[in-house]
Amino acid sequence: MSTEERLERAMRLCTGRGARLTPQRARVLRILIEAERPLGAYEILAEMAGGQRALAPPTVYRALEFLLAQGLVHRLETLNAFIDCRHPERPHPAQFLICSACGRVVEIDDEAIAARLLDAASQSGFAPSRKVVEVIGVCEGCR
C-alpha cells in the first residue's frame, strides 16, 4: 500500500468520524509514513522545517496528539518516538518488536497476548484502558 493510498485511507477514516485531517496533520502523517521507522517529535519537526519557516514544538506535538487519538499513529514508549499504524481502521492491541541493532519496528497485534493481559489485570481488580507492550531485541536480519 502506497504512501498516497494510506493518506487517502486516513482522510476517509477521519472524515467518516467528523475529524479533520488538516494539511498540517496530514503532513506529519506523511513524514511518518515515508520514514518507515519511528521518528522522535523533534525529528519530525526538523523534516517540517525543511523548505519553509521554522515551526515550534507544539505544532508537532498537537498534530501527534490528534493522530494518536485517531489511531493513525502509535507512540513507542521505550523510544520516545512515533510510528504510523498499518491498519488504523479499528482499535487493536498495539504490540511492538523493536530491533536494537537496526532500529526497525514491527507492529504485531496478537489478540491472545492482549486477552491474557486483560485476564491478568482483571484478576488484580484492574480495569485496563491502555496496554503498552514493547519487546526490545534483535531482528532476523541483524543476527
Partner DNA sequence: TACAAAACGTTATATTGTATCTTTTCGTCA
Partner DNA sequence: TGACGAAAAGATACAATATAACGTTTTGTA
Which of its own copies, Zn ion, DNA, none binds 137 (CB below 5-8 Å, type-dependent)?
its own copies
In Å, how far are 56, 95, 105, 143 from 36, measured between CA atoms? 24, 17, 9, 21
Is residue 49 a contact point for its own copies (CB under 8 A)? no
Output the smallest distance, CB 102 to its own copies, in A.
Answer: 12
Q: Which of 36, 42, 100, 103 binds its own copies (CB under 8 A)?
A: 100
Which of DNA, Zn ion, its own copies, none binds 53 (CB below 5-8 Å, type-dependent)?
DNA
- Which residues touch 32 (CB under 8 Å, ≥6 apart)? 39, 44, 67, 73, 82, 83, 84
Are the C-beta atoms of residues 63 and 75 closer than 8 Å to each other? no
Which of its own copies, Zn ion, DNA, none binds 127 (CB below 5-8 Å, type-dependent)?
its own copies
Output the nine-digit C-alpha cell for 95.
504490540
Which of DNA, Zn ion, its own copies, none binds 58 (CB below 5-8 Å, type-dependent)?
DNA
Collapsing DSSP states into helix, strand and coil, what is residue 84? Answer: strand
Is residue 70 a contact point for its own copies (CB under 8 A)? no
Rounded to 10 degrees, the C-alpha dihedral 38/43/46/50 comes to -20
Residues that bind its own copies (CB under 8 A): 77-78, 95, 97, 99-100, 106, 108, 110, 112-113, 116-117, 120-121, 124-141, 143
